[in-house]
Chains A and B, each alone.
Chain A
Amino acid sequence: MITPLSNKDYMLISAYLDGELTPSQRADVEKHLDSDLQFREALASLKYTKRLLKSLPPVRARRNFTLTPDKVKKTAKPQRFQPAWGMVSAFSTLMLIIVFAVSRFAPSMSAMPAAVAPMAAAEDKTTAMEVQSAEGTPTPMIILWAPQRAYGMGGGGGGGIGGGDASSTGLNNTGVEAPMAAAPNPAAVPTLSATEAPAPETTLDPSTLILGLPDATSRGKIVNAVPTDHFAWLRVITGTTWLMIASGAVALIAALLAIFNRRR
């Protein structure tokens, strides 16, 4: 049974034809040519194919291709970073889509930093208080109500624990006495003596609430619980939103640059 020649055999024969083999390869091919009819036939057919291709008449150009200053000027050199702008734009758009999809379909991930922040703030304050107590300083108990919406708005929501909602339960985790005991009986609030409460500062910080009596000057006044902060909306924007804004801006700028450079 005759084994057909492999691609490697044909490659060796073809390179032998062009004199592009090493001496050892050439000797190997010549040995096969002496003994193998298939090798000889393959060499003959490839040799003839090469001759036919070589016999193709040269085609002369119908005109000269010499350059003129106008021709060279007309085709301005492409911008070096031209291909990069398109890529950057595409990548930024892809990133925007991914971030949007993650924030849309996995909202717990994007909401997480916002929920943790007040807890951490409250924890820090309570820890500071605990340290003070441990040092023996007769510091009165101050109950902090971190969420602003609980102050001066009549409470509401959050399972009826006298202001704040479920998100404010971080206070419970800190070990500070929750207002559960005091809240059901509003009348109990005035029973706290002025001496039990720390001497309130002259200005009321709406971000915290001290259960106790306000000083004489502040008594009876309605404190504006919502601070007039013109940049408050900036703090509402989460990191994910910032990322989406940045990706969108980069995508837009890169796309405009790509289009502008291409037109040039």
Chain B
Amino acid sequence: MDEQFLIQSACKGDLDAFNRLVLAYQDMAYNVAYRMLADEDLAEDAVQNAFISAYNNLSSFRGGSFKAWVMRMVTNGCYDELRRQKRRPTTPLEPLNDEDEETDSAPWMASDDPAIETTMEQAELEHALQHCLEQLPPDFRAVVVLVDVQGMDYSEVSASVRTPLGTIKSRLARARLKIRDCLQGFQELLPEQFRLKGEAQE
């Protein structure tokens, strides 16, 4: 796929060309939005709005990394949603059982089947990581998701969140430290060598 050609065609109003770009980046965009918002529906809305916004503002794309430019649209949409949530906080619902009664934990957490133990541990670890990500301020969360989850380099992230490189380095280091410390609350999920004795509690 010649990305530059597709971008030029899309700039001239070729929606099919733009849709090919959408297909190339939609999984990444959705993954970033999901890790930022921790909600599938909200992530879908954010991604859809980001692509519409990208198409409408394609003329403002001045070259460089198209991926970083699209991710900027996505992170901006996520910031908007997080701000909206902050203004109108909602109460999360507890999982329901078969009788539509609230349970303390999801069914998969109550299972005793040893065959799925590993899967459960992985799922719990993922839950713990997602929980720790949610504890981060949105600016820190965006940086750590883009660098550590999506594997983008610093310069791309700098372009995505429109922040100087030095700030990216600082935010990333602090975000990693916060996640490391947060994970100490889930020590049973971590391997022995990762359980900090005193450093995290300092």
Contacts and interface: CB of A to CB of B under 8 A. Distances in A.
Interface string B38-75: 00100110011001100110000000000000000000
A236 interface: no
Interface residues of A, number: 38
Contacts of A20: 153-154, 169
Given A46-B180, A50-B148, A13 B173 contact: yes
B176 A14 contact: yes
A122 B116 CA distance: 103
Interface in A33-86: 41-42, 44-46, 48-50, 52-54, 56-69, 71-72, 75, 77
A64 B20 CA distance: 11
B147 interface: yes
A18 B179 contact: no
Contacts of A4: 202
A9 to B, nearest CB: 9
Contacts, number: 113
B26 interface: yes
B15 A72 contact: yes
Contacts of B18: 67
B183 A49 contact: yes
Contact of A67 (B52, B129, B144, B199): B52
Given A11-B169, A61-B27, A45 B52 contact: no
B151 interface: yes
Interface residues on B, range: 35 or more
Given A11-B173, A45-B194, A67-B55, A61 B30 contact: yes
B161 interface: no
Given A14-B169, A53-B148, A67 B19 contact: yes
Contacts of B30: 59-61, 65
Nearest to A75: B52
B172 interface: yes
Contacts of B151: 54
B122 to A, nearest CB: 8
Contacts of B170: 7, 11
A242 interface: no
Contact of B173 (A14, A56, A69): A14
A72 B173 contact: no
Contacts of B154: 15, 18, 20
B15 A46 contact: no
A18 B147 contact: yes
Contact of A48 (B23, B56, B194, B199): B194
Contact of A65 (B47, B172, B199): B47
Contact of B126 (A50, A56, A69): A56
B131 interface: no
Interface in A1-39: 4, 7, 10-11, 13-15, 18, 20
Contacts of A14: 169, 172-173, 176
A117 B12 CA distance: 64
B129 A10 contact: no
Interface of B: 15, 18-19, 22-23, 26-27, 29-31, 34-35, 40, 43-44, 47-48, 51-52, 55-56, 125-126, 129-130, 144, 147-149, 151, 153-154, 169-170, 172-174, 176-177, 179-180, 183, 193-194, 196, 199, 202
Interface of A: 4, 7, 10-11, 13-15, 18, 20, 41-42, 44-46, 48-50, 52-54, 56-69, 71-72, 75, 77
24 contacts: A7-B173, A11-B170, A15-B169, A20-B154, A42-B199, A45-B180, A45-B194, A46-B173, A49-B179, A53-B149, A54-B149, A56-B126, A56-B130, A57-B126, A61-B26, A61-B27, A61-B30, A65-B29, A67-B19, A67-B51, A67-B52, A69-B15, A72-B52, A72-B56
**10 nearest interchain CB pairs?**
A14-B173, A53-B148, A61-B30, A66-B19, A11-B173, A49-B180, A10-B173, A59-B34, A65-B26, A48-B194
Given A10-B174, A59-B34, A61-B26, 4 more contacts: A46-B176, A49-B183, A52-B125, A53-B129
